[in-house]
Amino acid sequence: MSFLTTKDAEFKGAYNLFPVKELIGKRLRLTPLNLDGDAKRLFEIQNSNPNLFDYMPFGHFNDLIEFKAFLQHIMDKPSSLLYVMREIETDLIVGMEGYLNIVPEHKVMEVGYIFVDPAYQGKGYGLEASILLIEHAFSLGQFRVEWKTHHLNIPSQRLALKLGYTHEGVFRNHMFVKGLHRNSYYYSIIYQEYPQKAIMLALLLLASNVRSQTCTNPTPHVEWRELTSQQQTNYANAVKCLLAKPSKMSRLLRINSALEDLTYIHNTDSANIHNTAQFFAWHRALVTILAYSLKDRCGYTDPVPYWDWSVDSQAPDASSIWNTFGKASNYNGNCFADGAFADLTVQFGGQHCVTRGFTSAATSSADLGRTSGAIFGAMYSPEQIAPIMNYANFGDFHGWMEGLPHNNIHMGIGGEMGNPSISPNDPIFYMHHGNLDRLYYQWQNMDPVNRMFQYAGGNGPAYPNNPVASLNDVMFFYGLIPDCYVLDFMDLSLGGANGLACATYSNSITVAQASSSSIAKRSKFYESSGKVTDKETPDAYDRQHAYNLRYPNPSSDEFLKKWKYTDEDIAKIHKMEEYIRNYTDHLNSLPIEYPSRLGRTKKVVSHGKNVKLVDVKWQSKSKAELISEQALLKSLVKSYNKPPPTAHTYDKIPH
């Protein structure tokens, strides 16, 4: 930054409050606005974008004289100072930003008056200018910097959160603008919180390229059944290709393939990425690395699939996904006997064939072990996930999602998946974690202003000096890719980590056409003996009752201890599971006009006591269907007037 030795004497403004500086960044320099030299170019920018001032209390300006009078009015205020954004390479003015509401006695100022040439929007110029102004404000001894934005201006609110601001509240009807009352969201940063965030943002967003420039072609992630049969084959072949590619890690680590590289980094960082704040961000990064590796090393160009196990929750054994990933014969520690990965052998964890540990098929827990075949208990349906998705804070959402659905699927599949050290050896791992990331993506986008950059909790043992998690914590990948900031993987529309974190998720799938049997009225429950009972909720292994939701299979203490849960943590998880069981009973007791059927497999067809599993046709879930489903799920949660326990397990800070 360099001091300006001259200024236009006609401008009153805030020049007498502090030394005026030219602020120099990576691609921009901010210079105090000169009315005669700069106004014409700024007028051209506003003239090329009639919607530029939609959320502002001023504009659009019809002629240059009117526009210059407006700028002069601002610059004459003792609480304002305007800068123009100049691209360093071309010296072209690309926008304007400045300070307003400067209150020296309170050491507070606001950043605002921001607009950018439409040709340069989405390329990080406004972000870089804001960083320069915030850093300069604190260098002047300010204690607080503010940001206010219209309640409908979502991009501005997202930018505030990316800049490290904290949302403080809403000014209700505080201004009458363009014929309408305007609410204004207000945000602030205080000095003690900002310096590390500023350094992190500067490194992340300005060091080489602004990441939004690298997210012009996001990787699509879709549900497995949204792929054509040929695309499913292509995906399996691409994963097998990675299994045949040499490792990028040291040979001394005894890693046999490129896919095992991912198992290695997952195992090495296991204590830092489970039961800590990094769970979602780190595993999102792992799914991202897989997607990149499939394309880069094996030429895979189709969408990257995930498995939405919630649509199979009531009879997971009936899912068509096992046609590719291995059917019922793959249990009790045997090698995969069928599917695309039959006889899959890996080296990491000691040379062995990859196994699963499905429990034996049964119609109830009393019949376990009596029948052959591979099956595990019911999983979490959308209805049973709904209370988790309704949490407004990251800590509880994370705690419940990792503690229940995440663990449930790992334990149910068993074998390799039940072992945190080597679970990514099983290709189904990425289908499972892809779905968890889809749910996280969906949770963020249900309220992006308040959820996109929420982050809280404790760090693992690799951060002895930073036990409290923050967005500028570095995540480790041990040379497979460069280490990244947590912030890199918060918003997948920004293309963080040099463009790696650039993706979208589909809304999953829905039944193409529901049969009459899938909407039939609830009936009494038939036990395997044929006796009719009043039981409302089948247990996790039932496959006869066609209409009521089943209890998800609870996690065993043995499994949870393997995943490094303490006795206190295990007790809390069982309390959370008890809530889900009671909530399931409530759902099943509702009258038929509350059809809690969203997460049913739709493969179960019942006619009296005769039950059979049938294939159904799936189609992509539209945005309208997703919105309608979310509304129904919220109504179901609201109908159960008992708040779930807080997931303290994952909010605690390690000592």
Place of tokens 């394309």: 295
- Pairing between strand 345-346 and 304-306? unpaired
Answer yes or no: are the C-beta atoms of 446 and 454 closer than 8 Å: no
**Cα separation of 276 and 87, whole Å?**
41
Pairs from 163-166 (Cβ < 8 Å, separation ≥ 24): 163/127, 163/130, 163/131, 163/134, 163/189, 163/201, 164/189, 164/193, 164/194, 164/197, 164/198, 164/201, 164/471, 165/189, 166/193
Cα–Cα distances (Å) from 385 to 364, 520, 580, in that order, read: 23, 24, 9
**Is the residue at 200 inside a domain?**
yes
What is the pLDDT, as a whole number, of residue 269? 95
What is the pLDDT, as a whole number, of residue 655? 35
**Cα separation of 357 and 423, whole Å?**
12
SS3 307: coil
Which residues lie below 8 Å from residue 619, measured CB to CB, with a gap of 6+?
Answer: 509, 510, 511, 512
CATH of the domain at 81: 3.40.630.30
**Is the residue at 576 inside a domain?**
yes
- CA angle, 183 then 188 then 191, to 5°: 170
Which residues lie below 8 Å from residue 529, measured CB to CB, with a gap of 6+?
Answer: none
SS3 610: strand
**Cα separation of 177 and 546, whole Å?**
56
**Cα separation of 428 and 610, whole Å?**
32
Residue 559, phi then psi, degrees to nearest 5: -65, -45
**Cα separation of 190 and 180, whole Å?**
32
**Cα separation of 545 and 383, whole Å?**
17
Q: Is the full-model pTM beyond 0.85?
A: no
Cα–Cα distances (Å) from 228 to 164, 200, 321, in that order, read: 42, 42, 13
Domain region containing 58: 2-207
Mean pLDDT, 10 residues at a time, over the chain (655 residues)? 33 63 86 91 86 73 89 86 93 94 86 89 84 85 85 76 74 50 66 53 43 75 97 98 90 82 95 95 98 97 97 85 76 75 89 79 55 70 94 93 96 88 95 98 91 89 87 88 90 88 95 49 47 68 78 91 90 94 89 55 53 72 92 91 72 43
Which residues lie below 8 Å from residue 245, measured CB to CB, with a gap of 6+?
Answer: 257, 258, 259, 297, 298
Query: Which of 146, 178, 207 represents a domain boundary (last residue)?
Result: 207
Answer yes or no: are the C-beta atoms of 64 and 72 closer than 8 Å: no
Answer yes or no: are the C-beta atoms of 394 and 447 closer than 8 Å: no
**Is the residue at 54 inside a domain?**
yes
Place of tokens 């059944």: 225
Which residues lie below 8 Å from residue 9, measured CB to CB, with a gap of 6+?
Answer: none
**Cα separation of 623 and 173, whole Å?**
32
**Is the residue at 456 inside a domain?**
no
- Cα of first residue to Cα of last residue in the chain, in angstroms, is 41
Query: Which of 160, 185, 207 represents a domain boundary (last residue)?
Result: 207
Query: Which of 207, 242, 264 represents a domain boundary (last residue)?
Result: 207
Which residues lie below 8 Å from residue 164, measured CB to CB, with a gap of 6+?
Answer: 189, 193, 194, 197, 198, 201, 471
What is the pLDDT, as a whole number, of residue 182? 52
Answer yes or no: are the C-beta atoms of 138 and 145 closer than 8 Å: yes
Total number of domains constituting the chain = 2
Residue 348, phi then psi, degrees to nearest 5: -70, 130
Smallest CA-to-CA distance from 119 within 93, 137, 99, 143 is with 93
